[in-house]
Structure 1
Amino acid sequence: MNIKTSIIGVSGYTGLELVKLLLTHSTFTLVGVYASENHQDIASLHPSLKNVVKLPIQEVNIEKIAKECELVFLALPHQKAMEYAKVLLDKNIKVVDLSADYRLSLEKYEQYYCSHSDKENLQKAVYGLPEYNRANISKTNLVANPGCYPTATLLALLPFVEYLDNAHSVYIDAKSGVSGAGKKLVQTSHFVTINENLFAYSPISHRHSPEINEQLKKIGKIQQKTLFVPHLIPLTRGMLISVYARLKEQIDPIDILLKRYKSEPFIRVRENCVQIKNVVGTHFCDIYAKADEKDLFITSSIDNLLRGASSQALANANLMFGLDECLGLPQIAYAP
Structure 2
Amino acid sequence: MVKAGIIGGSGYTGGELIRILLQHPQTAIDFVYSTTKAGKKVSTAHADLMGVTDIAFTGKSNPEVDVVFLCLGHGNSSKFLQENRFSKNTKIIDLSNDFRLKKDSVFEHKEFVYGLPELNKTKITKANYVANPGCFATAIQLALLPLAAAKLLANDVHVNAVTGSTGAGVSLSATSHFSWRNNNVSWYKPFTHQHLGEINESLKSLQTDSGTLHFLPNRGNFTRGIFATAYTAFEGGLNEAVDLYQSFYANAPFTQISQEPIHLKQVVNTNQCHIHLYKHEETLLVTSAIDNLLKGASGQAVQNMNLMFGMNESLGLLLKAGVF
> Where on the TM-score scale, by shorter chain, does this alignment land: which range?
over 0.9
Identical residues among aligned pairs (%)? 38
> 1:110-259 alignment to 2 at 5 Å?
118=107, 120-121=109-110, 124-161=111-148, 162=150, 164=152, 166=154, 168-250=155-237, 252-259=240-247
Decide which moves more: 91-100 or 12-21: 91-100
Asked if residue 96 in structure 1 is aligned to residue 93 in structure 2, the reply is yes
Residues 117 and 184 of structure 1, relative CA distance in 2, 3 Å threshold: farther
Check whether the contact 1:274–1:288 (CA below 8 A) recurs between aligned residues. Answer: yes
Check whether the contact 1:88–1:94 (CA below 8 A) recurs between aligned residues. Answer: no
What is the distance in 2 between the residues matched to 1:142 and 1:220? 26
What residue number does 1:33 align with?
A: 32
What is the distance in 1 between the residues matched to 2:52 and 2:153? 53
> 1:271-290 alignment to 2 at 5 Å?
271-290=259-278
1:92 maps to a residue whose letter is N
2:248 maps to a residue whose letter is R
Question: Displacement, 1:277?
Answer: 0.3
What is the distance in 2 between the residues matched to 1:52 and 1:165? 47
Question: Displacement, 1:315?
Answer: 0.5
Deviation digits for residues 214-243 of structure 1, max 9, x if unmatched? Answer: 111124444421011100001110110100
What is the distance in 2 between the residues matched to 1:222 and 1:53? 51
Secondary structure of 2:4's aligned partner: strand
What is the distance in 2 between the residues matched to 1:193 and 1:312? 30
What residue number does 1:329 align with?
A: 317
What residue number does 2:15 align with?
A: 16
Check whether the contact 2:93–2:301 (CA below 8 A) recurs between aligned residues. Answer: yes
Check whether the contact 1:283–1:311 (CA below 8 A) recurs between aligned residues. Answer: yes
What is the distance in 2 between the residues matched to 1:305 and 1:165? 28
What residue number does 1:113 align with?
A: none
> 1:283-322 alignment to 2 at 5 Å?
283-322=271-310
Secondary structure of 2:318's aligned partner: coil
What is the distance in 1 between the residues matched to 2:85 and 2:292? 27
Residue number among 72, 77, 97 corresponding to 1:76 in the alignment: 72
Check whether the contact 1:9–1:15 (CA below 8 A) recurs between aligned residues. Answer: yes
What is the distance in 1 between the residues matched to 2:309 and 2:208? 29
Residues 44 and 279 of structure 1, relative CA distance in 2, 3 Å threshold: same
Check whether the contact 2:63–2:86 (CA below 8 A) recurs between aligned residues. Answer: no
What is the distance in 1 between the residues matched to 2:11 and 2:209? 35
Secondary structure of 1:171's aligned partner: strand
Secondary structure of 1:57's aligned partner: coil
Question: Structure 1: which 5+ runs fail to align?
Answer: 110-115
Decide which moves more: 250-259 or 52-61: 250-259
What residue number does 1:42 align with?
A: 42
Residues 26 and 199 of structure 1, relative CA distance in 2, 3 Å threshold: same
- Using the size of structure 2 for normalisation, the TM-score is 0.93
2:44 maps to a residue whose letter is S
What is the distance in 1 between the residues matched to 2:141 and 2:248? 13
2:27 maps to a residue whose letter is F
Secondary structure of 2:31's aligned partner: strand
Question: Displacement, 1:288?
Answer: 0.5
- Deviating beyond 6 angstroms after TM superposition, the runs of 4 or more aligned structure 1 residues are none
Greater share of helix? 1
Decide which moves more: 149-158 or 326-335: 326-335
Residues 220 and 280 of structure 1, relative CA distance in 2, 3 Å threshold: farther
- Using the size of structure 1 for normalisation, the TM-score is 0.90
- Across the two proteins, how many residue pairs are aligned to each other? 320
Question: Displacement, 1:44?
Answer: 1.9
Q: RMSD of the TM alignment (CA)?
A: 1.9
What is the distance in 2 between the residues matched to 1:221 and 1:272? 32
Secondary structure of 1:59's aligned partner: coil
2:307 maps to a residue whose letter is L
What is the distance in 2 between the residues matched to 1:165 and 1:71? 37
> 1:51-90 alignment to 2 at 5 Å?
51-61=51-61, 65-67=62-64, 69-85=65-81, 87-88=84-85
Question: Displacement, 1:248?
Answer: 4.7
Check whether the contact 1:281–1:330 (CA below 8 A) recurs between aligned residues. Answer: no
Deviation digits for residues 60-104 of structure 1, max 9, x if unmatched? Answer: 34xxx123x111011111221123345546633100100001101
